[in-house]
Amino acid sequence: MRLEERMMKWLALGAGYVLLIQAVVTAVEIVARKVFNHSFQGVDELGGYALAIAGAVGFGYAALTCSHTRIDLVLSRLPVAARAVLHVLAAGFLMVVAGGMFWYGLRSLRQSIDYGAISTTPLQTPLWIPQGIWVVGLTLFMVLTVVIFVRCVIMFACRDFDGVEAQMKAKSQEQQELEAAGFGDKLKGGN
Amino acid sequence: MVSIGIIAVGFLCVIGLLMLGLHVGAVMALTALIGVIYGVGPMLLNSMGNLMWGQMNSFVLTAIPLYILMGEILVNAQIAERMYRSLSDWVQWLPGKLLHSNIASSTMFSAISGSSVATAATISTVAFPTFREHGYSERWVAGSIASGATLGILIPPSINLIIYGAITDTSIGALFIAGIIPGLLLASFFVIIIAVAATIWPSIAGDGTGPEPDLSGRWKRLIDLVGPVVIFALIIGSIYGGWATPTEAAAVGVVASLGLAAYYGKLNLTMLNDSLLATIRITAMILFVLMGAYFLNFAMGILGIPDQVAAFISSKNMSPTVFVLCLVLLYLILGCFLDALAMMITTIPVLFPVVVAVGFDPVWFGVFIVIMCELALLTPPVGMNLYIVQGVRNRGQITDVIMGVLPFFVGILALVALITFFPGIVTWLPEALK
């Protein structure tokens, strides 16, 4: 596994555990609220941050595992060179959007720091903390899409169309869905 | 003001870019960007960061990864095998025999899963081995699984209904409850279709060589249904008891599914890590498209596009029935070419304001659009459930699956007609429980 793949896998796993802890804490909160009439403050607020962070980290992980949704109806019917052109184009567009998300995310973070923004909740969370981690996730997403795009362009320039294909379309859509549903290994023996 | 012609051209351009295989989320975000710059100027882009943070930092949307995680854990804990076995005991007396197990177990799995694709993958893996060697028609086996699995997004919990609720600001709790009656109706349509077909052509339900069903342990095996039923009751009960929001109910569902996995001795670190990684990947995939939709929503609002389309449609003086018919046709066509979720997310920003302006109930439209997604999952060339079932079946042609789905397609269209003429089927239960 490449370095960035290993790194993103660990980060994604970390984000997964954040969500799992969030789920357990939320469930405990409901029981506490219902049975002991006691409510911890801010579980929902932290849940929102958990999603923002898990999403931002996940964007990069999904880019690396080719999991972001694309419609491959036309793509799959074209010759390999034409497919490679479209893969490069798609990688470029994704990079532009990831770059935009990073840029405007960063601006949002800077505003929070400049104005010392805190959440309007009992927790009064200084917003730069969750937003800071969120921007780290968006930064990784941007860097990864740049890496993927540059690799695609270089391989395309070397006329290595299969390399572009491997970079951008590791698996077919249904295979991804099956793996996501926990059946990836059962199909490996098949065609 | 943007003319209706430009809107139509813009929409076709978006579809064109999607067909080129560009990332769905990226296409929507860039379209929004062009719209904002063209309509108001680049200054407005400065608010994009806060918009993005506001949408991603959302406790409501946290329900999405939690329901995905719950489904992943239950699949990895092999709950579905037990459920399938136990349900088979009770449906075999119907004409069509084991084919009904596919519908029954899809229906039940839908009640603990928010995704049709996951339901299709799960049920086909469990079901296919049962049918081998008994001479059942492969078309009917594949068709009943692919179609039955579409219930996954109609019967709550449902990822699609959460996304619809989040984009349109409709109560997700009400949407969940509204999905129950149409979901059960559709399941019963499927059962009727199989029973009628098996009465006319008995050969579809096997050559009679199958072993006598072992019914001696069927009461004992009922215990395997307790887990899923309890999880469903916890989720829906806590939402309607008013003790939990749909997100909190999802958290309870995750904890309950962990408990169930532990009970069956399937809870371990590898399983948990696999479930979490898949959850993050699918969540990111959905969120990215959703971010694109939010940008597009924002841009179109600024350009006044929904108002324009609404004014255009009202000027045509269509009757509600004709209007729904047009929507059905539009979604049938889009569903052939777009992924179901992408289809839903790209069309809601334009159509929702129009549909509400014409006088339809937001909850009704949510259920309607999810049924359209079900059709999209079954229409070639891009019907995901067809490919999932074919992938697991791993023999024969995809044409068998497509042909197998056709009779059930009629059932879904019948449901659409029914909820159009009797919208109360959708709106009655959520209102009664308010």
Residue B117 vs residues A109, B262, B387, B389: alpha-carbon distances, Å: 37, 25, 10, 10
Local structure of A1: helix, strand or coil: coil
The answer to whether the CB of A184 falls within 8 A of the CB of A175 is yes
Alpha carbon distance B80, B113 (integer Å) = 11
Smallest CA-to-CA distance from B4 within B302, B308, B350 is with B308
The answer to whether the CB of A182 falls within 8 A of the CB of B278 is yes
Interface test with B, best of A139, A174, A185, A191 (most B CBs within 10 A): A174
Strand partners, A118: A126
Block residue for tokens 């980060």:
A11
The answer to whether the CB of A88 falls within 8 A of the CB of A156 is yes
Residue of chain B with shortest Cα separation from A10: B277
Alpha carbon distance A55, A142 (integer Å) = 14
Q: Which amino acid is at B85?
A: R
Average pLDDT, 10 consecutive residues per value, chain A (191 residues)? 87 96 93 82 90 96 89 86 94 96 95 89 89 96 96 94 82 60 42 27
pLDDT of residue A147: 95
Angle of the B223-240 helix axis to the B79-91 helix axis, nearest 10? 100
| ipTM score of complex | 0.91
CB contact under 8 A, B76 and A50: no
Q: Could you tell me where the DSSP H helices lie in B169-268?
A: 172-200, 218-221, 223-240, 246-263
Alpha carbon distance B55, B71 (integer Å) = 24
pLDDT in single tens digits along all 434 residues of chain B:
678 888 888 888 888 998 898 999 999 999 988 888 888 888 878 888 998 999 999 999 999 999 999 999 998 888 888 899 899 888 888 888 889 999 999 999 999 998 998 899 889 988 888 887 778 899 999 999 999 999 999 999 999 999 999 999 999 999 999 999 999 999 999 999 999 999 999 888 876 655 566 667 788 888 889 999 999 999 999 888 888 999 999 999 999 999 999 999 999 999 999 999 999 999 999 999 999 988 888 888 888 888 888 888 888 888 888 999 999 999 999 999 888 888 998 889 889 988 998 889 999 999 999 999 999 999 988 888 998 899 888 888 889 999 999 999 999 999 999 999 999 999 999 988 77
The answer to whether the CB of B106 falls within 8 A of the CB of B194 is no
The answer to whether the CB of B155 falls within 8 A of the CB of B183 is yes
List all residues 6 or more positions away from B328 whose beta carbon is below 8 Å from its beta carbon.
Answer: B372, B416
Local structure of B207: helix, strand or coil: coil
Task: Give contacts of B338 with chain A, Cβ < 8 Å.
Answer: 71
- How many Cα atoms within 13 Å fall on the side-chain side of residue B198? 26
Residue of chain A with shortest Cα separation from B30: A97
Task: Give contacts of A66 with chain B, Cβ < 8 Å.
Answer: none
CB contact under 8 A, A62 and B243: no
pLDDT of residue B134: 79
Task: Give contacts of A11 with chain B, Cβ < 8 Å.
Answer: none
Alpha carbon distance B148, B106 (integer Å) = 6
Local structure of B201: helix, strand or coil: coil
pLDDT of residue A24: 95
Q: How far is B57 from chain A (nearest CA, A)?
A: 4
Alpha carbon distance B255, A37 (integer Å) = 21
pLDDT of residue B306: 84
Smallest CA-to-CA distance from B387 within A76, A62, A178, A75 is with A178
pLDDT of residue A103: 95
DSSP B134-149: TTB-HHHHHHHHHHHH
Alpha carbon distance B317, B322 (integer Å) = 10
b/e B388-397 (16+ beta carbons within 10 angstroms → b): bbbbbbeeee
- DSSP-derived letter for residue B213 is P
- Tell me the pTM: 0.91
DSSP B261-321: HHHTT---HHHHHHHHHHHHHHHHHHHHHHHHHHHHHHHHHHHTHHHHHHHHHHHTT--HH
CB contact under 8 A, B56 and A55: yes
Alpha carbon distance B311, B367 (integer Å) = 24
CB contact under 8 A, B281 and A52: no
CB contact under 8 A, B394 and A187: yes
CB contact under 8 A, B30 and A50: no
pLDDT of residue B110: 94
The answer to whether the CB of B352 falls within 8 A of the CB of B168 is yes
CB contact under 8 A, A27 and B21: no
CB pairs under 8 A between A and B: 262
Local structure of B211: helix, strand or coil: coil
- How many Cα atoms within 13 Å fall on the side-chain side of residue A171? 20
- DSSP-derived letter for residue B212 is P
List all residues 6 or more positions away from B407 whose beta carbon is below 8 Å from its beta carbon.
Answer: B143, B193, B197
Q: How far is A123 from chain B (nearest CA, A)?
A: 15
